[in-house]
């Protein structure tokens, strides 16, 4: 509920300072006095886009502030959770507009984007005027209103909860799909892993192969070197090392016979000869055992080519190839795990979707069963507002699944006999839309906003219809805060409170002021609305209208 509204330098207003009470408040004044600018200032506070024509008579700086009684448990606080605001019974919104038309919005003193204020505005004030019926201008709003009228909100909550749960699982499913390899990548990874695994690579194997192949490729050089070494040792020639050593042995033996002191040296010579013979034997055995199998060499060459090919494709060395294979193995295992989870989740999603659709179908059936009576109730109210041929009906069409079910609710309207109903809002004038909105507010009260601001919805109504509208507003004022801009004296007389907007002009400026009127001031204002002046007859008629005790209440705190 609106508790206070302050404005500085807006339109015709130099300053607005007004505290608002519960119940029904009528806003009256001469045409052009600034009543609609008062509403425009409120809409500007609540996020409407700015234009330079809204600057007032002072320097080009505008300040707007509103204080709303909402309650600490109001759902709008959850919409403001990102701004770390402490829930409170009172909510304060301000807007400052600089001379260059830049705006700064604040909630509870915390700077917020314009859109944030616009998003919570429907929770604060419901506005209905001939150019704007804020809550009744789209299918979602129609659907919400119908659900509230048919007392379907508990079922709607179930549908919303089921939809939220289902969609949360769908998002998990989508995330798992991103983590999974696509079919092509999965098959390719499997092929690569099989290729590497089939090679049965051993760490360091390529180095060993290189050594083996090097020996095979240098076989001729090895043979020539062996033959040279063996010939040097061979004793078949008198110049062979063994022959020379044996000759040396004999000479040393003869020397030992001449001088026994040489005899120990003879043993050392024999050791040298025996060692040389052993070396010759080992070399012969080495050459005899040396691998000279051409088929083995072919196999080694093929193996080397295979490893080289794997290194070209998957890594600079075998360790990198093996690491790549291990990474693929882990990826495939993770893919398999995700695939299992995805399959399980798919079944769960099907179950949750079926549960949601069952609830949504029940909701749709409940709406279908109540929409005919709803249309009749609205039509009956409209026909009491000088729209005797009004025909308003509801239609429900299938829609994509959403938080409120699978229905698209549309309102179809015709104001004249013989004309087929067409969808709202295009089928109704601004005044007709405002009366439809008022009728809807009469049928469903209180939520989402606890303040309903009506701008001349009674324009063009005759006495009986105007009295009917007045009665509607007075009745609504028992449950909602009603602020109504009106030119109808019968409407103003039924209000709990009345404020007047006046315009004054001096040599340089025209300004508007707003004030609360009571007692005789109020009688004079209603008289002016009746006849344009304060003639005795008009004053007497005004007192008669205000004679209803409900119309002369003092402003409540």
- Is the pLDDT at 551 greater than 60? The verdict is no
Per the model's pLDDT, the better-predicted residue between 528 and 218 turns out to be 528
For 224, the domain range is: 183-333
The residues facing 409 across adjacent strands are 396
- Is the pLDDT at 556 greater than 50? The verdict is no
Distances (CA, A) of 145 to 154, 329, 415, 442: 14, 57, 21, 12
Q: What is the pLDDT of residues 295-304, one digit of tens each?
A: 777 888 888 8
Same domain, 123 and 191: no
Distances (CA, A) of 494 to 31, 43, 123: 20, 26, 26
Helix (H, G, I), strand (E, B) or coil at 65: strand
DSSP 8-state assignment for residue 422: E
Same domain, 89 and 201: no
Same domain, 108 and 9: yes
Q: How far apart are CA 147 and CA 160, in angstroms?
A: 13
The CB density around residue 94, as the number of other CB atoms within 10 Å, is 19
Helix (H, G, I), strand (E, B) or coil at 500: strand
Task: Please tell me the total count of domains within the chain.
Answer: 2
DSSP 8-state assignment for residue 80: T
Cβ(433)–Cβ(448) below 8 Å: no
Listed range (209-223, 396-410, 481-495) with the worst mean pLDDT: 209-223
**Across residues 467-476, what is the average pLDDT?**
88
Task: Report the pLDDT value the prediction gives residue 293, as an integer from 0 to 100.
Answer: 67
**Across residues 185-210, what is the average pLDDT?**
87
Q: Is residue 504 part of a domain?
A: yes
Listed range (203-212, 233-242, 255-264) with the worst mean pLDDT: 233-242
Q: What is the pLDDT of residues 7-16, one digit of tens each?
A: 999 988 989 9
Distances (CA, A) of 301 to 205, 206, 312: 13, 11, 16
Q: Is residue 432 part of a domain?
A: no
Q: Is residue 167 part of a domain?
A: no
Helix (H, G, I), strand (E, B) or coil at 453: strand
Same domain, 110 and 236: no
Q: How far apart are CA 124 and CA 226, in angstroms?
A: 105
Cβ(502)–Cβ(29) below 8 Å: yes
Q: What angle in degrees, to the nearest 10, is found between the helix axes of 519-531 and 536-545?
A: 110
The long-range contacts involving 294-302, CB below 8 angstroms and separated by at least 24 positions, are 296/216, 297/213, 297/216, 300/209, 300/212, 300/213, 300/216, 301/213
Q: Which of 66, 105, 103, 111 is nearest to 84 (CA)?
A: 111
DSSP-H helix ranges across 422-499: 430-443, 463-476, 489-493
Same domain, 215 and 79: no
Q: Which of 318, 333, 348 is the last residue of a domain?
A: 333
DSSP characters for 207-227? Answer: HHHHHHHHHHHTHHHHHHHHH
Token representation of residue 98: 């600089």
DSSP 8-state assignment for residue 234: -
Token representation of residue 514: 């707003």
Q: Which of 166, 165, 147, 149 is nearest to 362 (CA)?
A: 147
Strand order in the sheet with 405-414: 391-402, 405-414, 422-423
Helix (H, G, I), strand (E, B) or coil at 126: strand
Token representation of residue 446: 């209180």
Per the model's pLDDT, the better-predicted residue between 56 and 349 turns out to be 349
Same domain, 15 and 100: yes
Q: Which of 300, 333, 366 is the last residue of a domain?
A: 333
- Is the pLDDT at 132 greater than 70? The verdict is no
Per the model's pLDDT, the better-predicted residue between 130 and 508 turns out to be 508
SS (H, E, C) 367-413: HHHHHHHHHHHHHHHHHCCCCCCCEEEEEEEEEEEECCEEEEEEEEE
Per the model's pLDDT, the better-predicted residue between 333 and 221 turns out to be 333
Cβ(437)–Cβ(426) below 8 Å: no
Cβ(479)–Cβ(446) below 8 Å: yes
Task: Report the pLDDT value the prediction gives residue 557, as an integer from 0 to 100.
Answer: 36
Distances (CA, A) of 200 to 37, 196, 203, 307: 86, 7, 10, 10
Q: What is the pLDDT of residues 488-530, one digit of tens each?
A: 999 999 999 999 999 888 767 788 999 999 988 999 999 999 8
Task: Report the pLDDT value the prediction gives residue 554, as an integer from 0 to 100.
Answer: 40
Per the model's pLDDT, the better-predicted residue between 195 and 184 turns out to be 195
Per the model's pLDDT, the better-predicted residue between 168 and 123 turns out to be 168
As a whole number, the mean pLDDT across the chain is: 86
Same domain, 217 and 329: yes
Task: Report the pLDDT value the prediction gives residue 6, as an integer from 0 to 100.
Answer: 96
Token representation of residue 398: 């299938």
Q: Is residue 367 part of a domain?
A: no
CA dihedral for 140, 70, 452, 27, sign (positive or negative): negative
> Token pair 């404005």 is at which residue?
7
**Across residues 283-298, what is the average pLDDT?**
75
How many residues appear in the chain?
557
Q: Is residue 353 part of a domain?
A: no
H-helix or E-strand spanning residue 430? helix 430-443
Question: Residue 288: which residues within 8 A CB-CB, separation 6 or more?
Answer: none
% of the chain residues with pLDDT over 90: 36
Same domain, 115 and 189: no
- Is the pLDDT at 553 greater than 50? The verdict is no
Q: Is residue 233 part of a domain?
A: yes
The pairing of beta strand 481-485 with beta strand 451-455: parallel
Q: Which of 509, 518, 473, 536 is nearest to 9 (CA)?
A: 509
Q: Which of 502, 501, 493, 555 is nearest to 526 (CA)?
A: 493
Task: Report the pLDDT value the prediction gives residue 45, as an integer from 0 to 100.
Answer: 95
Q: Is residue 391 part of a domain?
A: no
Helix (H, G, I), strand (E, B) or coil at 184: helix
Per the model's pLDDT, the better-predicted residue between 507 and 451 turns out to be 451
H-helix or E-strand spanning residue 129? strand 126-129
CATH number at residue 80: 3.40.50.300
Q: Is residue 315 part of a domain?
A: yes
Per the model's pLDDT, the better-predicted residue between 338 and 67 turns out to be 67
Listed range (208-217, 321-330, 373-382, 391-400) with the worst mean pLDDT: 208-217
Q: Which of 333, 368, 384 is the last residue of a domain?
A: 333
- Is the pLDDT at 66 greater than 60? The verdict is yes
% of the chain residues with pLDDT over 70: 93
């Amino acid at each position: 509920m609106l508790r206070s509204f302050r404005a500085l330098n807006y339109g015709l207003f130099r300053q607005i300072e007004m505290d608002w009470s519960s119940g029904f408040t009528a806003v009256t004044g001469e045409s052009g006095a600034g009543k609609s600018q008062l509403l425009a200032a409120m809409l500007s506070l609540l996020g409407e886009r700015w234009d330079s024509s809204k600057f007032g008579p002072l320097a080009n700086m505008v300040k707007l502030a509103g204080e709303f009684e909402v309650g600490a448990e109001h759902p709008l606080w959850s919409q403001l959770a990102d701004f770390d605001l402490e829930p409170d019974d009172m909510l304060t919104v301000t807007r400052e507009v600089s001379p260059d038309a830049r705006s700064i919005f604040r909630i509870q003193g915390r700077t917020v984007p314009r859109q944030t204020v616009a998003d919570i505005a429907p929770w604060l004030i419901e506005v209905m005027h001939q150019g704007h019926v804020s809550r009744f201008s789209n299918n979602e709003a129609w659907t919400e209103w119908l659900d509230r009228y048919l007392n379907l909100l508990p079922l709607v909550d179930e549908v919303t909860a089921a939809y939220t749960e289902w969609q949360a699982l769908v998002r998990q499913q989508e995330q798992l799909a991103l983590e999974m390899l696509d079919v092509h990548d999965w098959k390719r990874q499997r092929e690569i892993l099989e290729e590497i695994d089939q090679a049965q690579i051993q760490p360091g194997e390529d180095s060993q192969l290189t050594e083996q192949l090097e020996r095979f490729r240098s076989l001729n050089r090895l043979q020539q070197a062996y033959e040279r070494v063996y010939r040097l040792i061979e004793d078949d020639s008198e110049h062979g090392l063994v022959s020379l050593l044996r000759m040396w042995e004999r000479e040393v033996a003869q020397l030992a016979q001449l001088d026994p002191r040489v005899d120990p040296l003879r043993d050392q010579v024999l050791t040298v000869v025996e060692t040389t013979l052993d070396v010759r034997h080992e070399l012969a055995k080495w050459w005899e055992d040396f691998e000279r199998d051409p088929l083995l060499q072919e196999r080694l060459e093929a193996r080397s080519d295979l490893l080289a090919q794997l290194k070209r494709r998957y890594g600079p060395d075998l360790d990198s190839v093996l690491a790549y294979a291990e990474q693929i193995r882990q990826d495939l295992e993770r893919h398999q795990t995700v695939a299992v989870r995805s399959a399980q989740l798919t079944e769960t999603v099907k179950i949750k979707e079926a549960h949601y659709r069952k609830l949504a179908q029940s909701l749709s059936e409940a709406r279908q069963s109540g929409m005919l009576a709803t249309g009749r109730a609205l039509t009956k109210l409209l026909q009491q507002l000088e729209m005797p041929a009004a025909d308003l009906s509801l239609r429900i069409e299938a829609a994509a699944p959403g938080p409120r079910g699978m229905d698209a609710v549309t309102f179809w309207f015709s104001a004249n006999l013989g004309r087929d109903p067409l969808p709202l809002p295009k089928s109704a004038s601004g005044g007709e839309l405002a009366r439809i909105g008022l009728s809807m507010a009469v049928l469903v009260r209180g939520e989402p906003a606890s303040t309903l601001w009506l701008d001349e919805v009674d324009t063009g109504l005759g006495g009986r219809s105007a009295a009917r509208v007045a009665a509607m507003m007075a009745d609504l004022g028992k449950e909602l805060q009603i602020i109504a801009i009106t030119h109808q004296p019968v409407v103003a007389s039924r209000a709990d409170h009345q404020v007047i907007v006046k315009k004054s002009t001096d040599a340089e400026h025209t300004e508007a002021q707003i004030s609360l009127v009571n007692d005789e001031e109020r009688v004079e204002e209603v008289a002016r609305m009746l006849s344009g002046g304060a003639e005795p007859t008009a004053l007497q008629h005004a007192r008669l209208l205000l004679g209803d005790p409900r119309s002369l209440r003092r402003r409540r705190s």
